[in-house]
């Protein structure tokens, strides 16, 4: 009997291993097809606009590495020639950060078109893109993202009007993960003509936003002597005054780290937290400017120079999978959410001298943001409770409604509407009303698993996933 049981267990294990192997083979075959389509598309673009001479880096300091030291794939490639049509130019640097100017998923620049046709919006352009879960930042008519192309990570700049690739800057790196998928996760940051990009394995680069040439580079995991997270580095770099703040998660006081934004020289480091998959935010609470961070086990406020912990609140989720961005509610409250059965909470922060007292206003399981983040409008919070859109009262946590299955997609707030990108690539327009769920329109925008955050800048909606990217005109007619 024991022998028979062991044989059955062995057969089950072999079958499971075979299934995993087949899934991996299938995914690799799909990736190869995607990369071939991407390379063919970019070759066609280069034929229309031949590559200009490679640009060099700006002067580097003693702690920096010049692009010529790193091999030719690390140098930006710029495409010459005017765009095919008049460039759509969003306000300079309006969407410079992950999830927008304040990292809160809110678009306030202009009104958007809400009379979407029944057949869906026609894309301005649609084309292949490399793998990865990063979103875009937009400035000066250009959209910047980071993507996986075979065995390299690439930061790429695209013309918003045409989708034309303007430059790339790449390096050898290949982050793979069976459940979460492959490629870089962290959205780049734009600031004063520079792009700050972080790869899934810790490569941090400052690039000239005009040319893609390397200004400086570091590896934040190496500097912090930290191991990578299971699903890779995902926190978007945050520019604070003269520094770039990142979250390597190192011990012995290296969990949060700042670098000089001009030179890349290491600055201050702080704390010992294992980090998670949220991005740091610059906020003002109780009149105190501070860094708002959610690590694997807690939410906390840190002085902008990293010298002092201002407050902390336990926030422990299954194996440290905190992904959702916190929301600042007024001057003294913070909304937190997580999936895996955890739920949501609003905490209140009361200033007490140089620190803050923390109290819980409410906590429940009505809003479980798993891979997504919520948005706030007029005292109500809208977000994906696991895979279903929901609305709750920010003051009480009361559920107002739940409806609209968008999977583990992403949302942003634009005026009186929510723009949702489902995890299957469907775009939906939903009225942001606390009284009821009301979907205005929906259509398939891109194909494939879509966990990347949508972006609007200058009235142009940009979406991407692991294999496609597209632009849609949301400017009112």
How is residue 52 annotated by DSSP? P
Residue-wise pLDDT for 230-259, tens only, equals 999 999 999 999 999 999 998 899 999 999
Strands 106-107 and 77-78: unpaired
User: Strand order of the sheet with strand 298-303?
Assistant: 281-285, 288-294, 298-303, 309-314
pLDDT band at 433 (very low <50, low <70, confident <90, very high): very high
User: What gap in Å lies between CA 432 and CA 435, rounded to an integer?
Assistant: 9
Q: What is the dihedral of CA 464, 466, 467, 471, to 10 degrees?
A: 0
- What is residue 434's three-state secondary structure? coil
- Sort strands 375-377 and 355-364 into parallel, antiparallel or unpaired: unpaired
Please name the residue that has the structure tokens 């390299």: 152
Q: How far is CA 211 from CA 53, 323, 372, in A?
A: 11, 32, 32
| 3-state class (DSSP) for residue 57 | coil
- Per-residue pLDDT tens over the stretch 435-473: 999 999 999 999 999 999 999 999 999 999 999 999 999
Residue 244, phi then psi, degrees to nearest 5: -115, 120
Q: Measured at the alpha carbon of residue 246, what is the angle toward residues 334 and 54, in degrees to the nearest 5?
A: 135
What confidence score (pLDDT) does residue 181 get?
A: 87
* pLDDT score, position 64: 38
Neighbour count for residue 475 (Cβ, 10 Å): 13
What does the pLDDT average to over 8-33?
Answer: 57
pLDDT in tens, 357-410: 999 999 999 999 999 999 999 999 999 999 999 999 999 999 999 999 999 999
pLDDT classification of 20: cutoffs 50, 70, 90: very low
Q: Phi, psi (5° rounding) for residue 4?
A: -65, -40
CA distances from 91 to 60, 110, 190, 193, 245 (A): 30, 10, 13, 14, 25
Cα–Cα nearest to 371, from 202, 471, 234, 198: 234
pLDDT digits (tens, 9 = 90+) for 97-125: 999 999 999 999 999 999 999 999 999 99
Q: Please, how many CA atoms are within 13 Å of residue 111, restricted to the half-sphere of its CB?
A: 5
- For residue 30, what pLDDT is reported? 78
Average pLDDT for 51-80 = 38
- Cα 179 from chain centroid (whole Å): 18
Query: What pLDDT is recorded for position 179?
Result: 84
Q: Is the pLDDT of residue 74 over 80?
A: no
């Amino acid at each position: 009997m024991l022998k028979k049981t062991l044989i059955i267990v062995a057969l089950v294990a072999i079958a499971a291993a075979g299934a995993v192997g087949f899934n991996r083979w299938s995914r690799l075959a799909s990736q190869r097809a995607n990369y071939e389509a991407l390379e063919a598309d970019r070759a066609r673009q280069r034929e229309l606009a031949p590559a200009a001479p490679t640009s060099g880096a700006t002067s580097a300091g003693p702690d920096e590495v010049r692009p010529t030291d790193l091999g030719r794939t690390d140098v930006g490639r710029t495409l010459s020639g005017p765009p095919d049509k008049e460039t759509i130019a969003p306000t300079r640097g309006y969407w410079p950060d992950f999830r927008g100017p304040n990292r809160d998923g809110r678009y306030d620049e202009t009104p958007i078109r809400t009379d979407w046709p029944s057949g869906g919006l026609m894309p301005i352009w649609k084309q292949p893109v490399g793998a990865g879960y990063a979103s875009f930042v937009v400035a000066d008519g250009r959209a910047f993202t980071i993507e996986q192309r075979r065995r390299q990570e690439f930061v790429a700049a695209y013309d918003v009007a045409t989708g034309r690739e303007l430059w790339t800057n790449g390096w050898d790196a290949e982050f793979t993960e069976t459940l979460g998928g492959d490629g870089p996760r962290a959205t780049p940051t734009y600031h004063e003509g520079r792009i700050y990009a972080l790869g899934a394995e810790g490569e941090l680069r400052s690039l000239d936003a005009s040319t893609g040439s390397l200004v400086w580079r570091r590896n934040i995991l190496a500097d912090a002597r930290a191991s990578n997270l299971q699903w890779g580095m995902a926190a978007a770099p945050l520019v604070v005054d003269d520094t770039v703040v990142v979250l390597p998660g190192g011990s012995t006081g290296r969990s949060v780290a700042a670098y000089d934004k001009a030179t890349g020289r290491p600055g201050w480091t702080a704390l010992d937290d294992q980090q998670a998959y949220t991005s740091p935010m610059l906020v003002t609470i109780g009149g105190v400017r501070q860094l708002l961070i959610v690590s694997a086990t807690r939410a906390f406020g840190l002085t902008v120079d990293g010298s002092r912990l201002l407050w902390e609140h336990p926030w422990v989720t299954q194996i440290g999978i905190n992904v959702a961005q916190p929301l600042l509610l007024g001057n003294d409250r913070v909304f937190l959410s997580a999936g895996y059965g955890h739920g949501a909470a609003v905490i209140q922060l009361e200033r007490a001298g140089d620190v803050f007292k923390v109290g819980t206003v409410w906590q429940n399981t009505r809003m479980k943001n798993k891979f997504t983040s919520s948005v706030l409008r007029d005292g109500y919070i809208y977000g994906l409770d696991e895979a279903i859109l929901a609305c709750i009262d920010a003051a009480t946590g009361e559920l107002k409604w739940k409806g609209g299955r968008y999977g583990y997609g992403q949302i942003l707030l634009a005026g009186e509407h929510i723009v949702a990108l489902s995890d299957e690539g469907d775009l939906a327009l939903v009225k942001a009303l606390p009284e009821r769920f009301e979907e205005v329109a929906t259509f398939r925008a891109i194909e494939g698993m879509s966990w990347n955050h949508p972006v609007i800048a200058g009235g142009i909606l940009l979406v991407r996933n692991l294999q496609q990217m597209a632009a849609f005109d949301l400017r009112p007619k």
